[in-house]
Structure 1
Amino acid sequence: MLSNIRPLLIALSLGAALALPAHAQQTAAVATAPAATVAAKPAPRTAKATVNALTPGNYVIDVAHSHAYFFISHLGVSRFMGRFDDIKGGFVVGQKPGDSLVNATIPVSSINAKHQKLEDHLKSADFFDAAQFPNMSFESTRVRWNNRGEGVLSGNLTIHGVTKPVDFALKVTGAGKGPRGDTRAGFEGNVTINRSDFGMNYGLPRIVGDTVEIALSIEGILQQQ
């Protein structure tokens, strides 16, 4: 009796395996493969290696892969997010972090709030007043980062015709080659400001909050010397 059961179990197992879809058979094969046959993932690049991969030189901001977001309270019940879709300018990666520079301009007309009437209101004299102040700008006064790629980007931020010193929390996010062989470098920056400091007081304090968080993700392309 037992001698008849074993061949039957083998046949049932083989039939079930053959009935599986091809992708399931492949998954099962990987699951049962010896550990030595599974390829190990490459070790992630360390922060120090990322910093060391930065190539000194002049970079132009790649607008297609750079973003400027802002976050602000609406009616005290939600955290509204908007963005600007056009960032012009560039930066210099120095031989030392302190030799680096940043200069960027954002047209107010590029604001994106996913709602045309809201965008028109934000461009009006109640907020950014794009007709009188068409651009926001930032010019660095000091740049520094450590071996972990973390540091501070200090400079003058101009919004609504008012210029104030600010300190962005800075992070080196990557460096390397693009698909066409160009050299690229990436950074993130975050800062919190009060819009009333820049003369934007509409809706305070009930409708729209005063505190604004700005988050930047910038990718630049090294220019040929």
Structure 2
Amino acid sequence: MSTSTLSPELTGQYQFDTAHSRLGFVARHAMVTKVYGAFNEWEGSAYLDAADPSKSHAKVTVQVASVDTRNEQRDGHLRTNDFFDAPAFPLITFTSTAVEQVGATEFRVTGDLTIKDVTRSITIDFEYTGSAKDAFGAERAGFEGRTVVNRKDYGINFNAVLEAGGVMVSEKITLEFDISAVKVTPAA
């Protein structure tokens, strides 16, 4: 385990600024190209401990119906029971179970990802991208992360075989996280 190089001022409770953050995904389509998507409605929070990152934790809740791939027909299909089944399973959640610092600005966050009432442990590699006071005086911290999951592990099994071989949608999905976290100032 690396010794923390984070500024002690980073320690504290944070809310994720969803207007300046992105929860996205990438899937291979028809074996030849990638489709990029995101969830537009979600919320998250974290506690960061700069001196001992293992005491840090995070939680995210995503509104499944907010899926957005910039194609309404595809988004509508993703909301059906072929994929996410948004009416029956309206939320995706992630709750961290462990945080490990693995480099000067690199962290490994392990936690429980729940999609369609299936919960599996995943690990996300994050990079701390910096901190700053914004124009309104709020302290911000930035993190970028990614991991790969198999959608079939969560009961998302729909596919179509292509005439030339292969399948329409890849099983492996890359999850991408660009997080702007705003430090919560305790009430006076």
Q: Same fold (TM over 0.5)?
A: yes
Taking the aligned partners of 2:9 and 2:60, their CA distance within structure 1 comes to 20
Which amino acid is the alignment partner of residue 90 of structure 1? S
1:55 is aligned to 2:10: yes
For 1:199-218, list aligned pairs within 5 A: 199-203=155-159, 206-218=167-179
Q: Which residue of 1 aligns with 2:115?
A: 159
**Structure 1 residue 87 displacement after superposition:** 2.5
Please, which of 125, 132, 136 is the counterpart of residue 81 of structure 2? 125
How many residues align? The count is 178
Taking the aligned partners of 1:66 and 1:53, their CA distance within structure 2 comes to 24
Which amino acid is the alignment partner of residue 54 of structure 2? G
The percentage of aligned residue pairs carrying the same residue is 31
**Structure 1 residue 52 displacement after superposition:** 2.2
Taking the aligned partners of 1:52 and 1:113, their CA distance within structure 2 comes to 37
Cα distance change on mapping 1:199 and 1:49 into 2, 3 Å? closer
**Structure 1 residue 53 displacement after superposition:** 6.6
Q: Given that residues 50 and 173 in structure 1 are in contact (C-alpha distance below 8 angstroms), is that contact kept between their aligned partners in structure 2?
A: no
Q: Which residue of 1 aligns with 2:58?
A: 102
Q: Given that residues 102 and 108 in structure 2 are in contact (C-alpha distance below 8 angstroms), is that contact kept between their aligned partners in structure 1?
A: no
1:197 is aligned to 2:142: no
Query: How large is the RMSD of aligned CA atoms in angstroms?
Result: 1.8
1:79 is aligned to 2:34: yes
Q: Which residue of 1 aligns with 2:164?
A: none
Higher helix share: 1
SS of residue matched to 1:51: coil
Which amino acid is the alignment partner of residue 56 of structure 1? T
Please, which of 85, 91, 95 is the counterpart of residue 46 of structure 2? 91
Larger radius of gyration: 1
1:220 is aligned to 2:181: yes
TM-score by length of 1: 0.75
**Structure 1 residue 50 displacement after superposition:** 7.8
TM-score by length of 2: 0.89
Taking the aligned partners of 1:103 and 1:162, their CA distance within structure 2 comes to 17
Taking the aligned partners of 1:54 and 1:85, their CA distance within structure 2 comes to 30
Which amino acid is the alignment partner of residue 60 of structure 1? Q
Taking the aligned partners of 1:92 and 1:114, their CA distance within structure 2 comes to 33
SS of residue matched to 2:6: helix
**Structure 1 residue 51 displacement after superposition:** 2.8
